[in-house]
């Protein structure tokens, strides 16, 4: 069943060598002193807990909040010396640039968050639907026997069976897609670096250090 679901309903997921190397790096800016805080509190942590999209949600939220801060008001650490000397003048981003950057980031993160939502909440919502259908059917059978139309009962049984099948499908789909979330997070981080939203000081390059040790 898992192979069937993976072959029909899951897109091909190719992992390139650069993404595998980037998995080794430290993406969470918390330990590097670059995370965004207000009154000593992490801005990203309440958002990650509210979203409930997995244990890696805090690190994912932190580097995206850092990307927002870098785009909005934080200067690039590499350019700080040049800015202090007056060689670089940081200007406020235009409305067009803000809109383009936000839309670009939404499209970049869309696959990640749609997958996370489907994996985290799909089975739970279908479980609630199955429970409500069962309670509704039992109430009709126990207290409304004189008004029960057995054709309606057959339709209800069919709907319940379809919902059960979807629930089983959601469980298999979750097992297939859950391992992809960390790699999708790595890809989003790489994309933020490519677009200049995450600076070199916002993450730690461990892979190059390991290669130098070898």
For 54, phi then psi, to 5°, come to 105, 170
Single pTM value for the model: 0.76
Most confident of 9-18, 43-52, 89-98, 189-198: 189-198
> Is a pLDDT exceeding 80 seen at residue 62?
yes
Measure Cα distances from 206 to 32, 67, 69, 75, 212 in Å: 13, 20, 24, 24, 10
Q: How many residues does the chain have?
A: 214
Q: Identify the CA nearest to 27 among candidates 64, 68, 79.
A: 64
For 86, phi then psi, to 5°, come to 85, 10
What would the two tokens of residue 31 be? Answer: 């330990």
Segments of the chain assigned E as strands: 37-38, 41-42
Say what percent of the chain tops pLDDT 90: 11
The model's pLDDT over 77-93, given as tens digits with 9 standing for 90+, comes to 665 555 555 455 556 66
Helix/strand/coil for 92: coil
């Amino acid at each position: 069943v898992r192979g069937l679901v993976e072959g029909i309903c899951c897109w091909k997921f190719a992992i390139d060598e650069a993404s595998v190397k980037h998995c080794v790096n430290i993406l969470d800016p918390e330990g590097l002193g670059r995370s965004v805080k207000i009154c000593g509190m992490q801005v990203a942590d309440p958002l990650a807990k509210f979203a409930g999209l997995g244990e890696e949600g805090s690190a994912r939220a932190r580097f995206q909040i850092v990307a927002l801060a870098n785009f909005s008001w934080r200067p690039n650490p590499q350019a700080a010396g040049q800015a202090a000397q007056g060689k670089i003048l940081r200007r406020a981003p235009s409305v067009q640039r803000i809109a383009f950057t936000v839309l670009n980031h939404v499209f970049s993160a869309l696959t990640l968050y749609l997958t996370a939502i489907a994996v985290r909440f799909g089975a739970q919502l279908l479980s609630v639907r199955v429970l409500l259908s069962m309670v509704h059917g039992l109430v009709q059978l126990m207290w409304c026997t004189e008004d029960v139309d057995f054709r309606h009962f057959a339709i209800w049984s069919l709907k319940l069976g379809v919902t059960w099948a979807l629930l089983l499908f959601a469980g298999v789909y979750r097992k297939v897609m859950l391992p992809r979330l960390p790699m999708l997070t790595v890809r989003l981080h790489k994309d933020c670096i490519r677009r200049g939203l995450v600076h070199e000081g916002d993450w730690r390059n461990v892979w190059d250090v390991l290669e130098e040790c070898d």
